[in-house]
Each structure stands twice: as structure tokens, then as C-alpha cells.
Amino acid sequence: MPAFLRFLLAALSGWLVYFSYEPHGHWAAGIAGTAMFFLSLVPWPGEGRELPTARLGALLGFTHALTCYLFLLPWIGEFVGAMPYIALSVFLALYGILTGVLGVLAARLPCGYLGLPLLLVAVEFLRSSFPFGGFAWVRLAWGQINGPLANLAAWGGPALVTAAAALTAAGAVGALTTRGRGGRAAGVACLLLPLAAGAAAGQGVNLDSRTAGTVRAAAVQGNVPRLGLDFNAQRRAVLDNHAAETRRLAEDARADNRPLDLVFWPENASDVNPFTSAEAASIITSAVREVGAPTLVGTITRGESGEHNTAVVFNPDGTAGDAHNKRFLQPFGEYMPMRDFFRHFSAMVDLAGNFKPGDDDGVVRMGGVRVGVATCYEVAEDAAYRMAVKGGAQLLTTPTNNATFGFADMSYQQLAMSRMRAIELDRAVVVVATSGISAMVHPDGTVSQHTGIFEAAHLVEDLPLRETLTPAARFGAAAEWALVLAGIAVALGAVVATRRGYAASGTRAR
């Protein structure tokens, strides 16, 4: 295949993978796009020695990733301009070089297409971990939330879903490019088995027999005065909005004669610290007293180490209870790594906060219920909710503040992650946002109701409480490491085989 056709295939494949993510949510596009990318890396029947070089593989991997991220991440530049969004897309695409180089080397081995999914998982792990905690937002798994492979999250977390999607794609490649009936049959098996496993796994998701009780929960979306980064300058208005919506919630609950058990406010619902502002404390406690249920309030607090992004429980009697200080902070947003260095490139680095991470397990007690909290960006981090359910969380919540990103795709992409976490951990999730999208998510990942973006609203629903641990909660990290180590083994094997091959022929890689 000519190099320019491989390049075109890689670019189109990244664009196609983008359509698997929300708000599009076409899960099959993620598999098809990954298959097209793998096709750009592997030798085709009859090509002889005209195989993709390592240099071409680097270009193909970078092109595939960059095309996908340029379509996927424009929300990052919604109010700070295009430069940070493009810079992040380019940086993340650099990891694709590793996938491309190692992919073309592995593809030269017998049945080498089978190693490509493991390489993809290994590079995804690297990109999601380094540097500064990585960027897990662009994992292939998130685009599978509407398909059968999402059910595998309960067995191995998002890493297993990524591996299954990539194996399905590799199977399609093997069926198309492998000579011989046996080779094609193996490819078809790799194509179909993950889908069958996902469908079978769905039979064990969200079983009523695991429900330990129910709770009547409410999500309060107060909305913000206007769009943009400066909305927090109007923090008193944001607080007033959430207090007002809570009073409307209380009126509805009295009219229905069905008292509430738990109420959730979003991240940054009160950017005025209620522990230092008597006025903010009065507004919050008055609203909580009226609604008559423990309420989780997103606010800003200050400890010995500095400021924290905190979710704190306020009780109807006016007391404050448990709190969760956000542990997994967003680099370049909530804190600025190497601030002095990056200031040489842009003054916008000073828009980043200076928050300090917490060290708790994310569990807060609300009445008699143990609730696991993953604030906004934390939902993308595997450890956040896994720690919470191991700490006894019976219900999960994702309080988030998406107002900065306007009507862009960020809210939809983040909701997909909460849905995946629900399946992974067999817990209902209350997603509550300042400006949308708030949602009630059941343990099978379905959304029973949700708000629109930039509307004041509240949601109320009876949700199940669960206490058992899924295999992913127990062994998800180990499963991911096993896949990553297998990917490293494939990479090392491909490099060693390539060196031996060139040594035997007296040539070297281009």
C-alpha cells in the first residue's frame, strides 16, 4: 500500500474514533476507526518487502492521535483560546508515535496484529499516568459506553474495555489481511469473541439481588449567572441560585409528601467558604434545614497546606459533617505544575489555581449512607471511585462544575465516564453540575433522567444502595498492569526480532 494511502487511512481512523465519544456515542465507530488505524500499520498480502517503516509508523501514529484529539478536545479552549487546546492535542499525540513505531515492528511478526491491542493499552496507560498524573480523558474505553463492551468494565475496568475494543478491531484486520483459512478464522474469532463476552457480561450487571436498600436522592443544579471563566467572580449569585433551587426542591418534596434522604449540590456551588463567611454559612444551613436532608455542598476550604476543592456534608440541624478534599487535581487548571517555566510561554498560566490535594478515600457519611465522591476530573481516575467503594461507599456522586466550558462536548464526555464507573463498580451515580448536565445514573450505566445545559433544575429519584465489590473494584489495577506488562513484552519482542532480522540481512531500520 502506498505511504500516502496509509497516511490517509490513519487520519480518517482518528476522525472515526472521535465519533465513538459522546455526544455522538457511536461505539462501533471506535472499533472501526481503531481497525483502520491498525490497517495502516500492518503489511498487506502480496506486499513482499514493501512494509511500513518505523519512521512511517511514527507519522501514522501521530496523525491518527492528533486527528482524534483535535476533534475531541476543543472544549478545552472554549474560553482560554485555541492555543492551549491545540498544544495539549499535539502533546498527547506524541504518545501515538510510540504506538505507531512499535505497531509496525510488531505487525511484521507472525500474527503480529494480535499484539497491537496490547501495545495500545500500554501506551494508553502511559498517557493516562505521565507526566503530572497523565490525561485519562482520551481513553478508547469511554467511547464504548453505549455498546456491549462497556459491560466488561465490571470485570477489569476501563483498561479491559479498551483492550476488548482494540482486540475486536485487530480481529477485523486479521480477517482481512491474513492468508489461509486458519488465519482468517482466527481473525474472525478475535473480532467476535470480545463482543460475545461483553454481551454475556451484561447478564451479570445491575442485579436486584445485590441491592441492600434504596435511598431517595436529589441533585440540585442551580445554574450560573453567565458563561465564562469569570462566573466565579459572581460566586454569591451562584450560591444564591443553588439555595433557591433547593427551596423549590423542598416545596416539591412536601407537595409529594415524600421526604428526601440525600441532597447533592455540585462542585463550586459555594465558592464562598462557609467556614469563614457567616453569610454563606447562613444561606447554606437555611436551605438545608428547609429541605430536611443531609446535603453535600461543593465549596472552597483552607487547611494548613493551602486551599482545597472540598465537598462537605451539611446536616439539617446546622452542623457540618464529613468532607472530601479533592485528591486528583487537574494539572494546568486547579494547579499549575512548573508555573515559572510555563509563564515564559503564556501569561494564561496564572489563570490556573493553586489548590492542594486531599488524602482521604472519598467516602462521606450522609445520614446512615456511605457516599463515594469523585469531584469532576477525578471521575477519569481509576483509583478515585475504587478507593471509595473499598472504603464502604454504597452510592457514588460526581459533583462537577462545567460552566467554564459552555455548551461544548465536555459535559457529555464526562457523563459517559460516570456511566462507565457505575457499571465498573455496580453503584448508582448522582451526577450534579452547576450548569449541566446533571443526571441520575443506574448501576447498569443507564441514565434515567437528566437536566439540560444552563438551566436551573433538580432531579429526584429512588436509587439502589449496593455493598458488594465487583472484580474490577478488587482486581482492576492488577488486571490493567497485566495488560500493560503484556504490551511491554510485545514491544520488547518486536524490537528484538527486528534487530535480529536486520542483523541477519545486513541492513538496519529506517
Return the active site residues: 267, 326, 376
Count the neighbouring beta carbons within 10 Å of the beta carbon of residue 172. Answer: 23
Show the 3-state SS of 463-499.
EEEECCCCHHHHHHHHHHHHHHHHHHHHHHHHHHHHH
The CA-atom distances, in angstroms, between 283 and each of 54, 272, 288, 302, 402 are 62, 11, 9, 20, 23
DSSP state, residue 298 = E
User: 388's torsion region: left (phi>0), alpha (psi -120 to 50) or beta?
Assistant: alpha
Number of residues in the chain: 510
Specify which residues 433 forms β-bridges with: 400
Q: Give the burial class of 230: count Cβ atoms within 10 A of its Cβ; 0-12 exposed, 13-18 middle, 19 or more buried.
A: exposed
Q: Are 381 and 136 in contact (CB under 8 A)?
A: yes
Task: Tell me the C-alpha to C-alpha distance, in Å, between residue 393 and each of 90, 310, 433.
Answer: 38, 18, 21
The C-alpha atoms of residue 181 and residue 165 are separated, in whole angstroms, by 24
Rounded distance between C-alpha atoms, residue 105 and residue 55, angstroms: 11
* 392 closest CA partner among 217, 212, 156, 155: 212
Q: With contact defined as beta carbons under 8 Å apart, do 395 and 427 qualify? A: yes
- Residue 415's SS3 state is helix
Among 193, 192, 188, 190, smallest CA distance to 176 is for 188
Q: How far is the CA of 14 from the CAs of 17, 68, 114, 143, 435, in angstroms?
A: 5, 4, 20, 13, 30
